[in-house]
Structures are given as structure tokens and as C-alpha cells.
Structure 1
Amino acid sequence: MRKSAVTLLLALALPVAALAQTPVQYTLAFPNAVHHEAQVSVVFSELKAGPLQVRMARSSPGRYALHEFAKNVYDVQATDSKGKSLAVSRPDPYGWDVSGHDGTVRFTYTLFGDRTDGTYAGIDQQHAHLNIPATLAYARGQEQRPAEVKFELPAGWQVATQLRPDADKGSYYAPNLQYLMDSPTSLGAQKTRSWQEQGRTIELSVLHEGTDAELDDYTAKTKKIVREAAAVFGGLPQYDFGRYTFVVNYLPQTSSDGMEHRNSTSVTSNRPLRGDDVMNNLGTVSHEFFHSWNVERIRPRDLEPFDFERANMSNSLWFAEGFTQYYGDLLMRRAGIFTDDQYCKYTLSGLVGAMLTSPGAARFSPVHMSQQAPFVDAAAAIDPNNRGNTYLSYYYIGGANALALDLLLRQNHKTDLDTYMRAVWRQHGKEQRDYAPANPYTLADLQRVLGEVSRDTAFAGQFFRQHLLGHQLPKFDELLAPAGLLVRRAKAGQASFVGRLSYNAADSTATVGSTLIGSPLYQAGLDREDVVRKIDGQRLTSAKAVQDLLATHKPGDAVAVEYRTRGGVRTTQVTLAEDPTLEVVTYETAKRPVTKAMKKFRAEWLNGKAK
């Protein structure tokens, strides 16, 4: 009785605005998980008169295309505070309007989800991996209200999430809609490892079918990655509730993905924690953890706040994702997970090769590639496109430019990319307000900070004009040489069509994939879906036979190709080119002399920085 009286007095003392902050209350249950369904209930209270506009998100933080999550919602019903059924109408494909309420709406629906990754919802009898925009409906006008989420869990399941737990209520708390939508949640038989790092709790909550020893080894390597990432920025962020959670799902039914969030990351893969698969899994961990600075707190102004009702376009994904791509693998090397040779093979060869051989990179800027994200970032379309000739992922074009900038700063300006990232962090990331960056950046800000760090505003302006707003390719052979690294042809002297041929065993032909500008097939007039019938008069008896035939030729040779196109059967001469695949190798591998200066440069760049 006394508690109720005190509560009433406190409520009367609060301003009207505070009274409006009653949390939106969510409850999720899984009585039909075997068929990938969840039952979701949402209570919106203290509403103003008029229809309540309930919506499912159309897009998701960290994803830039439209995904139309409403397509997996059905059995929608609404009642008022007394349980009376309310009228529900469908104003558009993305939501529902609820009329006639008494200030409270209980909105219920069934959610279907069978894709476990960072974008969708994956539900089965073993687990539920929930990206919140794909899972929870929200109401327009209620975005600033806090939210409480309760899970009715099957036996043996536990919760992994960045949402703040409230043990007294048995619920999980988000301060507003932006935070709620940014909080992936995994439900299942979690295996947890946690430790203290610089006064913060770092935890791994893992669903996997491997051994505890495998998880312990994975945890030990993750600890090294965390420390190396913190060393770049001079310390860890102030996580909002003192905790950072790796929400990890490595079950066989899982799709490979990684998705950054403010105080957590969703990491999914069907690869186990053993053998070479560990390296791939850790690469995702490293990339996503770097995002807890870059893109979550160091955030482009054109993505803040995120709009759940449209595709979100940014000019800066070359930095937000591309520079993170560069650092993700660099941290692997600094943590001792990669050797120098592995770093060259798995990282530098990919970045340099993609940048220097992609027709798109020679035509369009990293800013342009960033703007293409709504069309390519897990976007679904059925019409053919020409992206092989017009596009290079902002991950690669941004990562390659990060590599070039790091080497330029080290060689010419007595500084490095770590120093630049720390400066951007201090000016545009460290200060946070209301669970969001206080000073998100623009392209002009990134250029200005580069001028300050390099102490050369002319250099900063030139780099942005030529390489980020423009599409001038870096001279990687010159940039990597001081580290004793060589850019060379991986298949020197080998003749190639420089195109993809898919062998058809049924009729001994090969179908041409999209042809690249300047390639032998493109120059000869062959296009996608043309069917090669003969080469040099010979039938294509196997895929290996094509390779064996090409091995008898050298670059510059002309071969007769008979093919079927939309205009009929034709024969043309195709002039073979040298296989353009590039690789980066150490001078040691290339049997070249390595100087002490090269070893010193390489060590200062690639060796660990954590104390």
C-alpha cells in the first residue's frame, strides 16, 4: 500500500513529457518454432486519439537496400485495454492502421523467419537469431519511447543481446527505437565466454556444435583482436551499459554474415570453429569489432539517424566499410593470427588485384560506389546488370584506398593511418549524446582531418580529388616496395580469355558469363549467355580440355571461336591476353634481396601495437 502511494506521488510530481515515456512492451514466444514461427505481442499505451500507425521496417541498420520485412508478418490482430477487437486497415504494404482504441493498443502477429544472418530472422527448434527490424513492429510517433522486451523461452534457451537486462522484470530494455532496432538478439543454448578489458565487459555468446576447447582457442584469438583494435584508437569506447557482446551463431543452418551494432555485433556462419574455417570466422569478428568505432560512433552524417522507412544512401561507405575492411585483416596480422605471407595472400592480393583489374574502379569513384549500396547490399533483383564493368564494392575500393593512404602517410608525411583514425575518433566519434554520435562527419570533415594529420592540406585535397571523389588508381607497386612487397602477375605468361566460361556437359559447350570491357571476349563481340561450341575447331569435351587447349597458346595468339549468339551461329577470331590476376608477395618469396630498411618499415606497419 505504501509503495503504491509513493509511486502515485512521484507520478504526480513528474512533468507531462515524462508521463508520456511509458515503455512500448514487447513479448515474443515460440510455440511453433519447428515451423519457423514466432508469436509477437506489442502493447502501445497512453496514446493520443486517432489511428495508430504500426509499421514494419523496410530497411535495417548496416544494410542499405530495402528488405520489406512486412512480407513475413501475418495473423495480425489488435485489441484495446479491455480486450475489445479493433479495426485494422492496410494503408500500404508496409504496415497497418489501428482505429478506435482507448489509448492502448495490443498489437499481435505471427512472424515467419528462416534465414539466420545479420539481416533477417532465423527461427527453428534449435534457436532464434533475430535481427530486430525484421522481427518487431513499431508505431509512428512512438520512436522516442523506451522499449521493454520479454522472451518466453523454450527450455534450455538463454538470451544474448546488447539490450540492458532487467532481472527484476525479467525483461530487456532499450532507451528508444533507434537503439532497439540496433540490437540483434540470439536465443538458444548459449556458450558464453567473458572477460574484462579496460574496465569493460567483453563477452562471446556462441551457438555452435564444436568443443569447448575450440571455443576457448577462438576466444583467446578474439581477445588479441580486441586489444589490437583498441590500440589503434588509444582505448575502447564507453559502451553504453559497460558491455560489448559478440552475438555468434555457427550452426550448420546459418548463412555467412557479419553485422555491426552499437554495443554488439551479429556474427553468423555455417563454418565450424576448427581448421581453416576459424580464420574466416575470426576475420568477420575483427572487421565487425572495428565497427564499434568506425560507423557506430564515428558515423557519417547522411546515415544519422537511420531511417527505417526507406533505403539509406551514404557518400562515405568507402570509409565506413572500406577502411574497416582494411583494418579488419590488418588487426589479424597484428594479433599474430596471420603471418606476413598469409596477409599478402588473403588481404593485399585481394585489395590490390580488385582495384587494378576492375573496370569499374577505373571508371567511377569510391564516393559513387558508396552511393550504389541500396542496389547491391543484399538487394534482390531479377534483371541482369552490367556491374562487372561499372562497379567495385566499396569494401574493396575503400580498403584499397585505405592501404594506399596508410603507405603514403608512412612514406611521405612521418605519420600513419592509425594516427588519422585516432584524430577522426577524437573529433567525430568519442563524444556521444543520447546513444548517438554528437558530431557525425561529412566528406569535408574527413578531408580536413587528413590535412591536419599529414600537416599538408594540399596533399589531403589532392588525395580526395584524385582517389576518393575521382577514380585515379594508386601505384601499388611503388607504394609496397619500401615494405619489401612485390606486385606481380600470379599467372605470368598464361594465355586467357579473361572471362568466365561455364562448361555444359550435356552438349560439350560452354556458356559465356558477363564479359569485361577490354577483355578478349568483349573485344571479339561475345556477350553474356553466348554459347561457345568450338575453339580452334575442337569440341569442348570438358572444362579441363579448355584449359589444356589454352595452355598450348601464348598471350597474343588468335584462336577461332565458334559460338551461338542471339543472332545465330558465328565464328570469330579471339586474341588471347595474359591472365590479369595479380598477387602481392614478400621479397623473400620472390627471391629478391630485402634490406634492413624494408624490414623495419614492414614491422612498424604490420607488427602488433597492443601493450
Structure 2
Amino acid sequence: MGAPRSAANATATATAAAIHYRVECADRNAHLFAVTLTIDRPAPHQRVSLPVWIPGSYLVREFAKNLQGLNAKQGRRNIGIAQLDKCTWEVDCTPGQPLVLRYEVCAYDNSVRTAWLDVDRGFFNGTSLCLRVDAQTDSAHAIEVVAPKVLPGHARWSCVTALFGAKVDKQGFGVYWAADYDELADSPFEMGAFWSGEFEACGVPHRFVVAGATASFDSERLIADTKAICETEMRFWHGDKVGKRGGAKLPFDHYVFMLNAVDDGYGGLEHRHSTALICTRRDLPQLGAKKQPEGYTTLMGLISHEYFHTWNVKRMRPAEFARYDYTRENHTQLLWLFEGFTSYYDDLLLRRAGRIDDATYLRLINKTINQVMQTPGRLVQSVADASFDAWVKYYRQDEQTPNGTVSYYTKGALVAMCFDLTLRSEGKGTLDDVMRLLWTKSAGGPIEEADVAKALESVGGRSYASEIAQWVHSTDELPLSGLLRAHGIATLDDPAQRAQELGLRVTETNGSVQVKVVLRGGAAEAAGFAAHDEWIGIELPTRKGQPTQAWRITKIEDLALYLGPQKKMIAIVARDRRLLRLPLTLPTGVTTWRLFAKDAALTTKWLTGN
């Protein structure tokens, strides 16, 4: 069911909605939203529940832990509530009378996944605030967001969401309409004194709001770059005539970007008509800057990634996601396709949109290759199994994660690149053609791995079953070097940085070297290092006629200063307040890849999509 095509229709539908939420900022200092849920026609034993996860973020987050003070009434009569499990409640109702539930939600997660409220900003996803009404999730839902009072010394707030406004004031507060619970859950709300800008991409209205921006923020640059990205992706999926007479019809008629700029943070969560983003303020484009911050390229890649999801996962999606089960994990082996392939195209489409050049793109893909090659877990778990285990491995990372699993984002992106370069080498099509064929064949709906195999065969003119088996379902290395070479990219082996050489991931702060991860098969593991060790110093072996030397280290690169040509040392580490002496030998021959364009014409042909 789609959104109503006019404000009048939206108002009529919202008025007729049997499910109505009223959201208020109850106490901004206490970070509390107040929610009133009215069910016009409740069942005799009405059940309601709060989701345990939000689609796009594959972890059971137990949103019900933030819900408090739930009570129920019919008319003036208080109704008893029975809690059935961690997120489900049942109310015994009198037939024919509306049921009113009131509760509060503590909103203290300043991420894109849940809800946040303080004196400066409010944000929420429906999965965090809106109880699901059992047996009525497919009916129309109305949600009213009430404007908070203007606090002394603070600006007046505005409100934005991608839902269709039924009765909304100039600041965006009022009643919105959702076709069903899924649409409500998939439409976050942003509130506050944010910056707002608008543009059209291929004739479709887009809005971009930014919370937390500083005075140096170059809004015109952000809008121009985002417009270019959006139009490039629209044409990728629907051809050059999109937005013109006779062109393909887009699956959406409006879109909203919501960006929260903070001191330290990064991430995004896709939705069908919008996306919620978070970045550091330093990564925003800067007014008057001759060279934009390096992090701005990362931000553009994030915008590209989440917008690509508008097609690839929000509409065309795994068959297991045809209908979300909000009460439990929803497993699929296809995240390598929906997240990994999106990760391949996010930066590639920046290049095609003219936002980065060939050299920048090669640096980005080079970084991805080295990230995968420096993950021992790639030899332990296939990218298909990593997709299935996202709930317990990727989203619950610890000191052993790199040794036991591989990212379906990064390796999935490399799998996509291997398919694209293979198809291009064989001369019958490209991965672009495969993606568009999948979209057409699925009608923008659920697909299975067999559909991917059929699309590859249809475009490439042969079966790619062996490649799928090897690249997706095994732990074999990908044939990256040969495929890149065939497209004008040479690979060089550069000496690894010291931490990589030793098989360590560390943090270096306040003069302390803290071991975060000890990688499988590395020199540090052989020496006996463990995660959470503090590496304090080194001793050099006694040499004839010389006293033992011991040195305090504050960063890994200190080793070059104190070791000189020596390869052997005793590492002094603190573990659980015990000092340990670990015999450590520097390895030889540990390298990383460096890519460069050897045949610029071949490389440009690939990167521009020609």
C-alpha cells in the first residue's frame, strides 16, 4: 500500500486510522518521550509488543528495556496489563470501546538506531517508541508529534520525517500517516533547530537536514554533491531517461536525508524514503576550503551507500526479509550481496558522479583490499556464513572477531568487484547489468541466491556456479590481482606498518600502547601477547661486553629507534597488574598491497562504467 497522493487523502486516511500514536517530549532533561497509543477497535485479549531490533541493523537490541510506566484505560476505567515476555503485553478489553495505552520511553542513544532526546535535539525510530498492535499491523497508522515548548535561550524546534503529513504546521509538527506498521517503523523523525535544504534529483524532491553543524559548514557544497550522487544512482538503476517523459518510474516520489553532526561518530541506517546519518563535524564540507577534509569523502561515500540501499535491500531484498519478524533475529546468507555489493558501488558511483577521481577511488579500494587481507577470519568463515552470523559476530565484535569471521561489507565489496571485472573481461555485460536485471525480474521485491545465479548467467552467457561456490561459500582467496591487472591496475607489495607486521591492533593514547586484538598466526601471538595487555617496554638481549638495555615505549614506531638492526627483543607487558616478559622476534616479508593505474585508459573505462 502506498502513501496517499494528496494532503486531503492523507488527512482523511489518518483520521480514519484505527491506530493512533501521540508522541510528546515529556522531560527533555530526563530524556523521556511520552507516548499515548489509542486502539479504536481492540481485540478482547489485545496484545501489543515493542520490536527487539530495527531492520538494517542486525542485532537484538531489546528496545523494551527503555519502556516504562505502561498503563491502560478504557474510558475512565483502568485496565490490568499482563506482561507475557520481554517485549509483549496483553490487555483484557471490553469489546467496542477504544483502548488507550500510555507509557514513557527513555531516549538516551545518540545513534541512528534508537531514540534520543535532550534540550537541543530529538530523534526517534518507530521501533523504539511505537508498540505494535497485534493483528492490526497491516492497517493504516497515524502518528501525532507534538511541538515542545520553546525553552529560554533555545531556538524553536522543527520536525521532519519522510511520512506523508496529514495535518502538519509550518515547523513540521502534527499528524502523519503510515500505510501500515512497517512504514511507520521505517520512517524516523528528526526534531530540533536543524539546518535544512532542498533540491530536486531527476525531478524528485529531496530534503537534507543537518543537526549540530558549525558556522563553517558549506551547505551549498553538500547539496550539490548529494544531488550529483542521487542522480547518478537513479540513472544507474533506471537509465538516462529517468525523470523525463517516457523514462522509467522511480519507486519513490520524495526522499529525506537526516544527518547528525557530532564530535565523534560515524554511521547510517537506510529507510525506504529516507536515511539517518551520523558523522563528525570536522567531516562536513568547509566554507572557503581549497581542499575539503579527507573525512568528507568518507561522508559522501556514506550518503552514496545509504541511498543505494533505497533499491538494494529496502525494496529488492532477501526472501527472508519479505516480512520482518520484529520479535527475533531474521537470518539470511545474502548480506554479502545487499551490504557488500552496496559497499562496492558506493565509492564507485562517487567516481561516476565526478565527486572523486581515479586515484582517490584506487586508494579507497586499496584500503578495502588490505582490510580483508589483514583479517585472518577470511580463512575461517565464508562471506555467506558471515552474513548469517551477523547477529552474533559482526554486531557483537570482541578481541577475537577478526580471527573468526570476515566482514560481509568489505569482502562482499571485493566479491562484487570480482564479478564485475570478470564479466567485463568476458565482454558480454557488467555487474551493472546484473543488478538492473535482478531489479526488473524481482519487480523490486524479495530474491534468493538462485535469482542472483540466474541473472549472472543471463548477462554473462554462462554459469557462474563455480565462482559463487568459491568466492561466496568457501574461504578461498579471491583472484584479485589477475582481475585488476586485466583492467589496467598493477599491484605492488609494500612493507607493512609495524603493528600489522607483528599481527597486532593497538591504540596509542596518553603515552600508552594498549593491545586491542592479537591476530591469528602473527608474531605477537607466537610471543604470547593477549588482548588488553599494556605494552610497556622492551629489553634488548645481552650482548658481549655490554649491559642489558631496557626502554619504555609510548608507540609502536618506537621499536625502530631502540632496536636498530636487531630482530629479537623481550617485550614487557602488563596483564592484570602482572609484569610479563615475552620473547618477540620481528618477522620478515610481511607486506600490504599498493594499487596503481598502469594502463589509465583501461582503468578509466572500468571506473566510468563505459
Give the TM-score of the pair, scaled to structure 2: 0.85
Structure 1, unmatched stretches of 5+, are: 1-17, 431-436, 588-593
Does the 8 Å CA contact 1:206/1:248 hold for their aligned counterparts? Answer: yes
Q: Which residue of 1 aligns with 2:302?
A: 284
Q: Does 1:115 align with 2:114?
A: no
The 1:147–1:549 alpha-carbon spacing in structure 2 relative to 1, beyond 3 Å, is same
CA shift, 1:462, in A, is 1.1
CA shift, 1:392, in A, is 1.6
Residue identity opposite 1:137 in structure 2: L
Does the 8 Å CA contact 2:487/2:603 hold for their aligned counterparts? Answer: yes
Q: Which residue of 2 aligns with 1:225?
A: 229
State the alpha-carbon separation in 1 of the partners of residues 562 and 386 from structure 2. 36
Does the 8 Å CA contact 1:21/1:145 hold for their aligned counterparts? Answer: no
Q: Which residue of 1 aligns with 2:326?
A: 308
The 1:451–1:267 alpha-carbon spacing in structure 2 relative to 1, beyond 3 Å, is same
Kindly, what percent of the aligned residue pairs are identical? 24
Q: Which residue of 1 aligns with 2:84?
A: 91
Residue identity opposite 1:48 in structure 2: A
For residues 531-542 of structure 1, the aligned pairs below 5 Å read 534-537=538-541, 538-542=549-553
Q: Which residue of 1 aligns with 2:519?
A: 516
Name the structure, 1 or 2, with higher relative contact order (CA <8 Å, separation 6+): 1
State the alpha-carbon separation in 1 of the partners of residues 100 and 395 from structure 2. 33
Q: Deviations over 1:27-53 (max 9, x none)?
A: 11114123211111110111232x221
Structure 2, unmatched stretches of 5+, are: 1-12, 151-155, 243-247, 287-291, 542-548
Residue identity opposite 2:391 in structure 1: P
SS in structure 1 at match of 2:110 = coil
Q: Which residue of 2 aligns with 1:32?
A: 27
CA shift, 1:134, in A, is 1.1
CA shift, 1:297, in A, is 1.3
SS in structure 1 at match of 2:386 = helix
State the alpha-carbon separation in 1 of the partners of residues 576 and 188 from structure 2. 48
SS in structure 1 at match of 2:91 = strand
State the alpha-carbon separation in 1 of the partners of residues 104 and 260 from structure 2. 23
Q: Which residue of 2 aligns with 1:186?
A: 190
Q: Does 1:317 align with 2:335?
A: yes
Residue identity opposite 1:600 in structure 2: A
State the alpha-carbon separation in 1 of the partners of residues 367 and 235 from structure 2. 25
Q: Deviations over 1:279-322 (max 9, x none)?
A: 23222111000001100111110122111100121110001001
Residue identity opposite 1:603 in structure 2: T
Residue identity opposite 2:314 in structure 1: E
Q: Deviations over 1:346-375 (max 9, x none)?
A: x21222112223211122211011012112
Does the 8 Å CA contact 1:160/1:190 hold for their aligned counterparts? Answer: no
Residue identity opposite 2:416 in structure 1: A
Equivalent residues, number:
563
Q: Does 1:485 align with 2:485?
A: no
Q: Which residue of 2 aligns with 1:343?
A: 361
For residues 235-384 of structure 1, the aligned pairs below 5 Å read 235=239, 242-252=253-263, 255-272=265-282, 273=284, 274=286, 275-276=292-293, 277-345=295-363, 347-376=364-393, 378-379=395-396
The 1:365–1:476 alpha-carbon spacing in structure 2 relative to 1, beyond 3 Å, is same
Q: Which residue of 2 aligns with 1:70?
A: 64
State the alpha-carbon separation in 2 of the partners of residues 59 and 77 from structure 1. 23
SS in structure 2 at match of 1:269 = strand
CA shift, 1:565, in A, is 6.8
The 1:152–1:492 alpha-carbon spacing in structure 2 relative to 1, beyond 3 Å, is closer
State the alpha-carbon separation in 2 of the partners of residues 188 and 486 from structure 1. 50
Residue identity opposite 2:144 in structure 1: K
Residue identity opposite 1:389 in structure 2: N
Does the 8 Å CA contact 1:302/1:315 hold for their aligned counterparts? Answer: no
The 1:172–1:241 alpha-carbon spacing in structure 2 relative to 1, beyond 3 Å, is farther
Residue identity opposite 1:287 in structure 2: H
SS in structure 2 at match of 1:514 = strand
Q: Which residue of 1 aligns with 2:7?
A: none
SS in structure 1 at match of 2:406 = coil
Q: Does 1:423 align with 2:437?
A: yes
State the alpha-carbon separation in 1 of the partners of residues 336 and 315 from structure 2. 16
Q: Which residue of 2 aligns with 1:591?
A: none
Q: Which residue of 2 aligns with 1:442?
A: 448
CA shift, 1:510, in A, is 5.5
Q: Which residue of 1 aligns with 2:504?
A: 499
CA shift, 1:531, in A, is 5.7
The 1:132–1:451 alpha-carbon spacing in structure 2 relative to 1, beyond 3 Å, is same
SS in structure 1 at match of 2:135 = coil
SS in structure 2 at match of 1:394 = coil
Q: Which residue of 1 aligns with 2:157?
A: 157
SS in structure 2 at match of 1:527 = coil
Q: Deviations over 1:451-470 (max 9, x none)?
A: 1111111xx11110100111
CA shift, 1:377, in A, is 5.0
SS in structure 1 at match of 2:552 = coil
SS in structure 2 at match of 1:204 = strand
CA shift, 1:450, in A, is 0.7
The 1:576–1:297 alpha-carbon spacing in structure 2 relative to 1, beyond 3 Å, is same
* Superposed structure 1 runs of 4+ greater than 6 Å apart: 503-506, 564-570
Q: Deviations over 1:539-565 (max 9, x none)?
A: 34122476334784669x444445577
For residues 565-604 of structure 1, the aligned pairs below 5 Å read 573-578=583-588, 580=590, 582-587=592-597, 594=598, 598-604=599-605
State the alpha-carbon separation in 1 of the partners of residues 19 and 386 from structure 2. 38
Q: Which residue of 1 aligns with 2:118?
A: 124
State the alpha-carbon separation in 2 of the partners of residues 172 and 131 from structure 1. 14
Residue identity opposite 1:484 in structure 2: G
SS in structure 2 at match of 1:480 = helix
Give the TM-score of the pair, scaled to structure 1: 0.84
SS in structure 2 at match of 1:602 = helix
The 1:337–1:145 alpha-carbon spacing in structure 2 relative to 1, beyond 3 Å, is same
CA shift, 1:204, in A, is 1.6
